[in-house]
Amino acid sequence: MRIGKIPVAVFILNILFLKCAFGQSQSVIPEYISQKFQSYCNSVIREEIFIHTDKEEYISGEDIWFNIYLIDRKSFKPATSGKIAYVEILNYENKPVIQKRFMLEGGVSPGHLVLPDTLSSGTYTIIAYTNWMKNFLPYNCFIKEIEDYNAFNSNVFKRSERIFEEKEAITETSANSGLNLTVNNRKQDSLEIFVNTDEEFRIDNKNQIFLFIQTHGVINYFRTEKILSERTKIAVPKMSLLPGINQITVFDSEGPVCERYIYTPGKKNQDIILHSIDSCRKRDEVTIEVEIGNNSSQKTDLANLSVSVSPVSGSIPPIDLYDYLIFGTEFGFSPQSMLNRKRTTEISPEILDSLLLTLKSNWIIWDSIFSNNEPVFKFPAELDNQYIFGKLLTDNLQPVNEYEVLIMSVPGKEALFQYTTTDMKGDFNFKVDIGNESKDFIIQPDLNIINQKVYIESSFANQYISAKVFIDSLKENIPPVIFRQILNYRIRKSYASSSAREPITPYIRPGNQKRFYGTPDFELNMNDFVTLDSMPEVFFELIPRVSLELKNSVYEISVTDPLRNKLEGSPVVMLDGVIIKDLSTIVNLNPDLVEKIDVVWDRYRVGGYIFNGIINIISKSSDFRSGLLPDDAIRVSNRLFEPVSYFVSPDYSTAEMKNSRIADYRNTLFWNPLVKPNENGIAHIKFWTSDIKAEYLVNVNGITSEGKTISIRTNFKVK
């Protein structure tokens, strides 16, 4: 059976499109495959997120300090395709206990969360993704398990285990195809690929195949190879292969025949040196130096390093950025469980190659690559805008007709307006500017149809891998290091001590928000006139060319254009920029609450939406609290980013502080996600130890603008 076989008809039709018959002009096949592969990788962009946390085990109520890295898998460079990172912490039952968003700048973002002190002891999972990554969930997201211990209730530990779908294994042979291959990856300079074929296969394919090798979306090697005998050896120079997981695919004249994955190690942390002490005493100053080395380009393009110093527990070794990116999420989460968080340098390439026999890429899929169907994605990248997704449904939760119009307003002094339409499923979305401040968005159907209702989707994915829960006794199983951290937390809790100080709100350049209708034809400032008793009087006495009349117990409003012609259709009436369909809301409004009224006397167009005149009443509060929310509308309160605190630790540089009787029981000694090397490529890190004798891990991660990762760690002891 062929692996990932493309239907012959589809493949031939594509070749005919290039005006070459497949069987008659095999010379065009490599060009065709390359073009399809590159087009696919450019449109189905693969993002990876890595999170460096300050430690692996926590006590309920503690701070989690972390740094987010967003990386483009093809280039391995920091990705600038998204500005928002969604971070969740799930409990052992797969329910979110924390959901926050953080602003990415240049592909990185510092982060800070506080674990609720009510959390039960157990396994918790950190997941992170961008809006674009939602298209490929649940597998294309960062996932990391941490252990949490409740300092005041630690009778049981609820442990979870992720349940992953079984994938079809990739084997070295391709049954019934007349071709199989084996690989020798043990030589230092060359990769040996042995292609075994039968006579029928060689005749059908005119004694040639196409050998294609790619690594994380980059073509490493692609040649037409002659197969003149039953066994053909092909030597591929190792220098042509990028470090990482290399995918070898053999094509015949109809499509891919078989594939195989191998591992090519890279030069990890070349010229990266971490200078540290071996031991020190309590309340000593520690200086650590990270030296980037002699590579001048690395020195100049280095982004910030994230550095953590925390107790060595030994139960859960940390994952570093370099090792994580080898697999990323392209092969699901099996590699993490198979490697058991071991570093790749601790595992031989032969063992890694054998593990790869059971994996399959969930990104590079040949059926998708050669499909003529243009991929459609619901979730776009959030570069300059955030997206609000929702559904417009009937009372019995059925989708409305396609192309139903919805409108969105932002209450405020400057009227903002958007409209969108539904698809066949009733889905819709709006784009909103990325900003710091909390905003309310009013979304409602354009037509006043009583059986329609707007539903807003959560901005978080709520799509998780299944988990199975195990309950263990804790009393006899708490590691001594964790027990010490529990005591530390209790003491710090009693002294109300914390390492978190002064939240930092991300700075976002404010946009030029203007009224969507520009300068109105008429603007009434209520302070310029004597206060009238009612809004109908205001319209009658003060606003020209606008008529508000009571007819058959119903108020009607109309506008005349500059030529004194009455506009067809009713004008749009707004309160604080929100469209009002029931005029009684305006009629019953207290004039004392109104600051000004804008009027556009003529028709006004926004895209395909036409206003038959505009009347916008702006209240003094400008928050649309003066009017009732329409029955078919929904108010969405949105705060985009969470402010991030920064880590602070004591300074014992003076004798008074060093001899202070105030106890220092920090579990994390140091955290800084913004360590910047100097022009010589050297970063100096200084901090003070606490009152605890323990062994500590210094963990450093970072990435350059050219995609070179830095992951290095060392230990020292406080005696």
Whole-angstrom distance, CA of residue 421 vs CA of residue 402: 8
Residue 504's pLDDT band (cuts 50, 70, 90): low
Q: Are residues 62 and 27 in the same domain?
A: no
Label residues 342-357 b or e (16+ Cβ within 10 Å = b).
Answer: ebbeebeeeebbebbe
Whole-angstrom distance, CA of residue 616 vs CA of residue 409: 12
469, part of any domain? yes
Q: Are residues 138 and 233 in the same domain?
A: no
Domain that includes residue 490, residue range: 47-166+462-504
Q: In terms of pLDDT, which residue wins out, 572 or 432?
A: 572
In 3D space, the residue among 370, 336, 337, 338 whose CA is nearest the CA of residue 354 turns out to be 338
Q: How many CA atoms lie within 13 A of 450 on its CB side?
A: 0
Whole-angstrom distance, CA of residue 254 vs CA of residue 5: 8
The answer on pLDDT for 428 being more than 70 is yes
Label residues 461-493 b or e (16+ Cβ within 10 Å = b).
Answer: beebbebeeeeeebeeebeebbebbbebbeebb
Report the percent of the chain where pLDDT is more than 90. 51
**Angle, in degrees to the nearest 10, between helices 8-17 and 29-43:** 100
Residue 314's pLDDT band (cuts 50, 70, 90): low
Residue 86's pLDDT band (cuts 50, 70, 90): very high
Whole-angstrom distance, CA of residue 191 vs CA of residue 234: 8
121, part of any domain? yes
The answer on pLDDT for 168 being more than 50 is no
Q: Are residues 56 and 96 in the same domain?
A: yes
Q: Are residues 18 and 102 in the same domain?
A: no
Whole-angstrom distance, CA of residue 448 vs CA of residue 632: 8
Task: Give the pair of three-digit tokens for residue 606.
Answer: 């926004």
The burial of 424, by beta-carbon neighbours within 10 Å (0-12 exposed, 13-18 middle, 19 or more buried), is given as exposed
Give residue-wise pLDDT tens across range 250-287.
Answer: 998 888 999 999 999 886 555 788 899 999 999 999 99
| Contact call for residues 308 and 49 (beta carbons, < 8 A) | no
Residue 481's pLDDT band (cuts 50, 70, 90): confident
Q: How many domains does the chain have?
A: 5
Domain boundary among 397, 430, 455: 455
CATH of the domain at 177: 2.60.40.10
* Residue 591: φ, ψ to 5°: -60, -25
The answer on pLDDT for 315 being more than 80 is no
Q: Are residues 431 and 493 in the same domain?
A: no
- Containing H/E element for 369? helix 366-369
Lowest mean pLDDT among 60-64, 96-100, 316-320: 316-320
The residue assigned the tokens 């071991």 is 342
Give residue-wise pLDDT tens across range 686-715.
Answer: 999 999 999 999 999 999 888 888 889 999
Q: Are residues 527 and 624 in the same domain?
A: yes
Task: Give the pair of three-digit tokens for residue 490.
Answer: 């209790």
Distance set, CA 298 to CA 7, 57, 79, 683 (Å): 47, 33, 18, 13
Task: Name the pTM for this structure.
Answer: 0.88
279-280 and 709-718 strand pairing? parallel
Task: Give the pair of three-digit tokens for residue 645.
Answer: 């605190």
517, part of any domain? no
**What is residue 125's three-state secondary structure?**
strand
Distance set, CA 245 to CA 184, 266, 270 (Å): 15, 11, 20
Whole-angstrom distance, CA of residue 149 vs CA of residue 59: 5
98, part of any domain? yes
Whole-angstrom distance, CA of residue 338 vs CA of residue 357: 12
Q: In terms of pLDDT, which residue wins out, 622 or 504?
A: 622
Domain boundary among 369, 398, 427: 369
Q: Are residues 658 and 714 in the same domain?
A: yes
What strands, in cross-sheet order, belong to the sheet with 108-114?
47-53, 63-72, 108-114
Q: What share of the chain is helix, strand, coil (3-state, %, to 5)?
A: 15, 40, 45
Give residue-wise pLDDT tens across range 133-160.
Answer: 999 998 899 999 899 999 887 677 887 7
In 3D space, the residue among 431, 428, 427 whose CA is nearest the CA of residue 418 turns out to be 431
Q: Are residues 238 and 294 in the same domain?
A: no
| Contact call for residues 495 and 662 (beta carbons, < 8 A) | yes
Vertex 223: Cα angle to 218 and 229 (nearest 5) = 140
Vertex 45: Cα angle to 42 and 46 (nearest 5) = 140
Domain boundary among 638, 660, 684: 638
Q: Are residues 391 and 433 in the same domain?
A: yes
Give residue-wise pLDDT tens across range 351-393.
Answer: 888 888 888 899 999 999 998 888 889 999 998 888 999 999 9
Whole-angstrom distance, CA of residue 444 vs CA of residue 392: 9
The answer on pLDDT for 4 being more than 60 is no
Q: What is the pLDDT of residue 22?
A: 40
Q: What is the pLDDT of residue 356?
A: 84
The answer on pLDDT for 528 being more than 50 is yes
Q: What is the pLDDT of residue 15?
A: 47
- Dihedral, CA of residue 146, residue 147, residue 152 and residue 158, to nearest 10: 120
CATH of the domain at 631: 2.170.130
515, part of any domain? no
325, part of any domain? no
The answer on pLDDT for 167 being more than 60 is no
Distance set, CA 80 to CA 14, 104, 355, 508 (Å): 34, 8, 33, 16
Query: CB neighbours (10 Å) of residue 439?
Result: 17
Give residue-wise pLDDT tens across range 663-678.
Answer: 899 999 999 999 988 8
Residues in the chain: 719
Q: Are residues 95 and 238 in the same domain?
A: no
| Contact call for residues 46 and 73 (beta carbons, < 8 A) | yes
* Residue 423: φ, ψ to 5°: -100, -165
Lowest mean pLDDT among 67-81, 95-109, 341-355: 341-355
Gap between the terminal Cα atoms of the chain? 64
CATH of the domain at 115: 2.60.40.1930
Distant-in-sequence, close-in-space partners of 402: CB < 8 Å, separation ≥ 6: 421, 422, 423, 424
Q: Are residues 179 and 39 in the same domain?
A: yes
The mean per-residue pLDDT over the stretch 307-312 comes to: 94
Q: How many CA atoms lie within 13 A of 275 on its CB side?
A: 12
**What is residue 294's three-state secondary structure?**
coil
Q: What is the pLDDT of residue 335?
A: 66
The mean per-residue pLDDT over the stretch 388-414 comes to: 90
Query: CB neighbours (10 Å) of residue 712?
Result: 18
Q: What is the pLDDT of residue 239?
A: 93
The burial of 255, by beta-carbon neighbours within 10 Å (0-12 exposed, 13-18 middle, 19 or more buried), is given as buried
Q: Are residues 249 and 309 in the same domain?
A: no
Q: What is the pLDDT of residue 434?
A: 78
Q: What is the pLDDT of residue 5?
A: 47
561, part of any domain? yes
Residue 18's pLDDT band (cuts 50, 70, 90): very low
Mean pLDDT for the chain overall: 85
The answer on pLDDT for 511 being more than 60 is no
Q: In terms of pLDDT, which residue wins out, 634 or 175?
A: 634
474, part of any domain? yes
Residue 89, strand partner residues: 98, 126
The mean per-residue pLDDT over the stretch 314-342 comes to: 79
Q: What is the pLDDT of residue 173?
A: 44
